[in-house]
Amino acid sequence: MAAPPGAEDEILFEYGPIFRQYKSGRVERYSFPPLPAGVDPATGVTSKDVVIDSANGLWARIFLPPGIHDGAKLPVVVYYHGGAYVLGSAADPMTHSYLTGLVAAANVLAVALEYRLAPEHPLPAAYDDSWEGLKWVASHATGVPGGGEPWLADHADLSRVFLAGGSAGGTIAHVMAVRAGEHPGGLGIGIRGALIVHPYFGGAADIGTEGTTGKAEKARADAFWRYLCPGTQGLDDPLSNPFSEAAGGSAARVAADRVLVCVAEEDGLRDRGVWYYENLKASGYGGEVELLESMGEGHVFYCMKPRCERAVEMQERVLAFLRK
């Protein structure tokens, strides 16, 4: 059926400056073109793309550090990209560049998992895809028919796994850690840590500056959540608020030995990140919880200014977390 006259240019929803959907269904995303997999000349890190499930378009980009010997086993970072659930990719420049640097510095194997984006695929599609991707990684712990993905089969030490993500990806990493903790019999892997960077959480009750100077931004974010997840229970949906009554204490079941929460002082999501850190510590979760606040910096600054002082400081903290 043809769109009504004028619908092509009439905006249905806008989350500027990154995203716009028109009443015709057309979507505009303001993002950079993806980078191809291959050898990164600056670090020597090699990457390749692997199809996980062609039926729903699920794939991953895998990164290996240089100089890996046959049979060498490396810790595994399973990474979820950000982008407010409407942008981003395992191949976008920020994700690709961040992971090449991390893989080279930490000497780890990284798996950046792709997931379907809203609004074409409303939440919880991103979470469900992320879970299928994590289970695919975990399947290599017991052997996959046909040998599975060679880089994982040959080089992944699945007793040393870290779940990580930035922005919406940080929220996804938390939800995956909870699902792993609640999965009957576990996933058969050792999740040593969760790296939750500048996470995108929400909730019905205001916290921090949300009820004062951040009131307009909170209202905008709340409306965006309802748009992303039209079947939601509301702003206290466990996918948005991991400490709500509806979450049923699930945060205590995070399947990671340690959690590092990173926030940035000038980030509009800073207060929610600190709130997550404080409530996780009080939730009954039995692991260690750490907080790093980057002063004077904004949201995902470490991707946009990877050589600045605070980004270097954050990288050192992350490397220590992975090596502990």
**Among the options 40, 236, 267, 271, which is catalytic?**
267
Whether 81 is catalytic is no
Return all residues near 311 (Cβ < 8 A) that are at least 6 apart: 294, 301, 302, 305
Order of strands across the sheet with 191-197? 46-53, 58-64, 109-113, 74-80, 156-166, 191-197, 258-264, 288-294
| 154 flagged as catalytic | no
Smallest Cα–Cα separation from 37: which of 50, 28, 25, 26? Answer: 50
User: Pick the catalytic residue: 81, 96, 174, 299?
Assistant: 299
Contact 236, 269 (CB under 8 A): no
Of 43, 51, 157, 159, the residue nearest 109 (C-alpha): 157
Give the C-alpha separation, 156 to 244, whole Å: 36
Spatial distance between the Cα atoms of 239 and 168, rounded to a whole number of angstroms: 11
> What kind and span of H or E run contains 305?
none
C-alpha span between 64 and 156 (Å, rounded): 10
Q: Tell me how far apart the alpha carbons of residues 87 and 110 are, in angstroms, rounded to a whole number.
A: 21
Query: Among residues 167, 240, 244, 283, which one is catalytic?
Result: 167
Active site (annotated) includes residue 257: no
Q: Decide: helix, strand or coil at residue 177.
A: helix
Classify residue 301 by its DSSP letter. Answer: H
Measure Cα distances from 9 to 3, 87, 131, 228 in Å: 11, 21, 36, 21
Catalytic residues: 167, 267, 299
